[in-house]
């Protein structure tokens, strides 16, 4: 399967759409083990991102925090379409 863009939009760094998902200073510890520390991510409309890392790097923990299954530590913030959650 191949995707073909007939008229791709040229990249213009001065016209950047607002992020739909914003993560700021997300952290998580399990006991003395720091799993995530000061994670910052912006996801903008139309972007496709991949979360890569070694075993134990915190990928599942970050995904669980975004999904609302795990509470991040205090001090971080997340917003979806500009609304805190």
Q: How confident is the model at residue 85 (pLDDT cuts 50, 70, 90)?
A: confident
How far the first Cα of the chain sits from its last, in Å, is 37
Cα separation, 28 vs 73, in Å, equals 5
Q: What is the pLDDT of residues 40-82, one digit of tens each?
A: 999 999 888 899 999 989 999 999 999 999 999 988 999 999 8
84 three-class SS: strand
Instruction: State the pTM of this model.
Output: 0.75
Neighbours of 51 (CB within 10 A): 12
Residue ranges and CATH numbers for the domains of the chain are 21-84 (3.40.50.300)
Cα separation, 81 vs 44, in Å, equals 10
Pull the structure tokens for residue 54. 């070694």
- Whether 46 contacts 11, CB under 8 Å: no
């Amino acid at each position: 399967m191949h995707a073909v863009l007939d008229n791709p939009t040229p990249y213009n760094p001065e016209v950047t759409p607002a992020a739909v998902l914003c993560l700021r200073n997300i952290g998580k510890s399990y006991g003395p083990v720091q799993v995530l520390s000061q994670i910052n991510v912006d996801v903008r409309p139309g972007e496709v991102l991949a979360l890569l890392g070694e075993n134990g790097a915190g990928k599942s923990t970050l995904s669980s925090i975004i999904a609302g299954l795990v509470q991040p530590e205090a001090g971080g913030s997340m917003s979806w379409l500009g609304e805190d959650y």
